[in-house]
Chains A and B, each alone.
Chain A
Amino acid sequence: MCTTCGCSTGQTRINGKTIQSLHLEKPIQFRPLKHSNTSDHTPSLPIKNNCASETLAFGTDVATAHAPGMSQARMIKIERDILERNNQYANENRRFLSERNILALNLLSSPGSGKTTLLVNTIQILRNKLPITVIEGDQQTDHDAARIRETGISATQINTGKGCHLDAFMVQQAMQQISPQQNSVLFIENVGNLVCPSNFDLGEAYKVVILSVTEGEDKPLKYPDMFHAADLMLLNKCDLLPYLSFDVDLAIEYAHRIHPGLPVIQISAMQGNGMQVWIDWIEANRLALPSTVQYQT
């Protein structure tokens, strides 16, 4: 547990080593209040509600009701994105990647949809054509990184502890460890979870969502944020279709209700069907990266 606040991000590990959590590097010390009479902190009430339904009528007297000698409540306007820190790291990652002409793909799915199987087989096909690196995200264990390393490709394992998604800071730390080569493909296998990983930009070029046919057609409707955020959907375990009553067309229709035009590739990561289409998609997108002329060392 994080000792600062009891939360779980303090458990983040990379290849077994604990890293600093994204927030609160050190508890901040607060000095006693000094009166600052700068005009930019004047009361700014009332706040308008964008929904135009109810106006929040709170404390119009808050800033004026103060007795001499007592501290004075004041209003401070902010306007900052709650995830701005993550987004800053994501932008740094994006810059790092683009300077090195690296295509980074963020692989997202529920647990067990076949992300690691897909990666292992993708590596077998691509390894002689392209340099590849892998970042693995799981709450616990380095099983997945070990599976990747068996192929001879280097992989960094991030363990998020109780955390249910990767964030851009973790990925930045992992990239510093693994230093992916120029012109390579970086696969980031996110924590198996169809909910919140979609909210955290890692600096990747594309989000690839994997849905396996054993999960049911309705997952895009049940987890719309993920399918809305995705740039490509892989429908995996298609080798099992003869044994199931899974309706492929319906699953794709549902995905398109959430995300019109989302490209879908049907594959069997295990048996290899459809893998060539996926490989072509990767190669096409790698070539489409805006090539960088000025690369500074």
Chain B
Amino acid sequence: MHELSLAENLLQIIEEIATEHQLTKVKTVWLEIGKLACVEQGSLRFYFDVITQDSIARQAKLEIIEIAGQAVCAQCNRNSLITSYYEACSHCGSYNTLKVTQGREMKIKELEAE
């Protein structure tokens, strides 16, 4: 359910930018969402469509760029790609040594607008 809050926060940022840049229509919104960020993309799109209905971002397209999860190993100091919090280091096989360095992002990156 927090996808609803995310969509609202997103719309608020878009509206701020629209005022600042005197936009009349937002056509596309690019987001960066980390794979570990616990965001359900389908749900986010659904709420975004609902709450933007009467806004400047009506019918805007959401483009979601996925950011892979990455962690550094405290044992061997190397980076691994991860898709969950409980994976072993892909280099030395250690468990419980990974520290997440990337993949929790929830960012708005760019707008295409008029």
Contact = CB atoms under 8 A, between A and B. Distances in A.
Contact of B112 (A62, A85, A167): A62
Contacts of B85: 224-225, 228, 257-259
A28 B18 contact: yes
A8 interface: yes
Nearest to A82: B106
Interface residues on A, range: 35 or more
B9 A83 contact: yes
Given A165-B2, A199-B38, A224-B85, A260 B13 contact: no
A24 B52 CA distance: 12
B110 A225 contact: no
A146 interface: no
B92 interface: no
Interface stretch (A69-77, A93-101, A177-185, A204-212): A69-77
A9 B110 contact: no
Nearest to A36: B22
Contact of B110 (A28, A75, A84): A75
Contact of B68 (A7, A51, A72, A77): A51
Contact of A9 (B8, B13, B55, B56): B8
A33 B96 contact: no
20 contacts: A5-B51, A6-B50, A9-B5, A9-B8, A22-B8, A23-B12, A28-B15, A30-B18, A33-B24, A36-B22, A73-B112, A80-B13, A81-B108, A82-B108, A83-B106, A196-B1, A196-B5, A198-B38, A224-B85, A259-B85
A50 B106 contact: no
Nearest to B22: A34
Contacts, number: 166
Nearest to B99: A260
Given A199-B38, A257-B86, A75 B13 contact: no
Interface of A: 5-9, 21-24, 28, 30-34, 36, 41, 44, 47, 49-51, 56, 58-59, 62, 71-86, 162-165, 167, 195-196, 198-200, 221, 224-225, 228, 256-261
Interface residues on B, range: 35 or more
B27 A73 contact: yes
A72 B24 CA distance: 11
Contact of A33 (B10, B13, B22): B22
Given A75-B111, A77-B109, A77-B110, A82 B6 contact: yes
Given A79-B107, A164-B2, 17 more contacts: A5-B11, A5-B53, A22-B8, A23-B9, A24-B8, A33-B114, A34-B22, A47-B65, A47-B110, A51-B68, A56-B65, A58-B63, A71-B24, A75-B112, A80-B107, A82-B13, A228-B85
